[in-house]
Amino acid sequence: MAKSGGWAGRIEDRDGPVVCCVDGSDESRFAAGLAASLADRLGLPLILLSVVGSVTQPGVSAAPAGQERLAAAERHNAEEALAEVAAAVGAPEAARRVEFGAAADRILAVSEAEGASLVVLGTRGRGRMKAAMLGSVSSAVAARAHCPVLVVPAF
């Protein structure tokens, strides 16, 4: 493949994976399709990532192994969702990871640990006011990532 200029050329010079965070939204599924296409065209591996927030729920910790069972159920659901997305975007060979914690922090940690060439994620289309009030995962990742970040807007 001929080398491209600009940011695409910088990605082609790397050999780390394309990391795509999937959260079940239509936007993230579209982003996963784009990530799979880019990974294929660039000859890079693809990692589909799902980040599960806190699994702490009142009353669950009182039950024997309650938190562990809840975390296992959340992990199972996320793994099934990632498998569905991988199949839907034509990337059944994509690595799939489930992480627990704050979304932006986990996306950044995985992308850095894996030496990602590119991070791809969708927006939720909340609008400027809500994003400013609630915070934005995509903004936080783009501001702190060690590699290029492609934020796919809602259509």
pLDDT means over runs of 10, the chain (155 residues): 56 84 89 96 96 72 71 93 96 97 96 97 64 68 94 81
Give residue 27's pLDDT. 85
Are 29 and 85 in contact by the 8 Å Cβ rule? The answer is yes
Q: Does residue 126 fall inside a structural domain? A: yes
Take residue 88 and report the two structure tokens written for it: 């839907």
d(C-alpha 66, C-alpha 41), whole Å: 44
Give residue 89's pLDDT. 96
d(C-alpha 36, C-alpha 47), whole Å: 9
Give residue 70's pLDDT. 84
pTM of the model: 0.83
Q: Does residue 3 fall inside a structural domain? A: no
Give residue 60's pLDDT. 54
Q: How many domains does the chain have?
A: 1
Q: Does residue 5 fall inside a structural domain? A: no
59: domain CATH number? 3.40.50.620
Q: Does residue 2 fall inside a structural domain? A: no
Dihedrals phi, psi of 150, to nearest 5 degrees: -105, 115
Q: Does residue 25 fall inside a structural domain? A: yes
Are 151 and 121 in contact by the 8 Å Cβ rule? The answer is yes
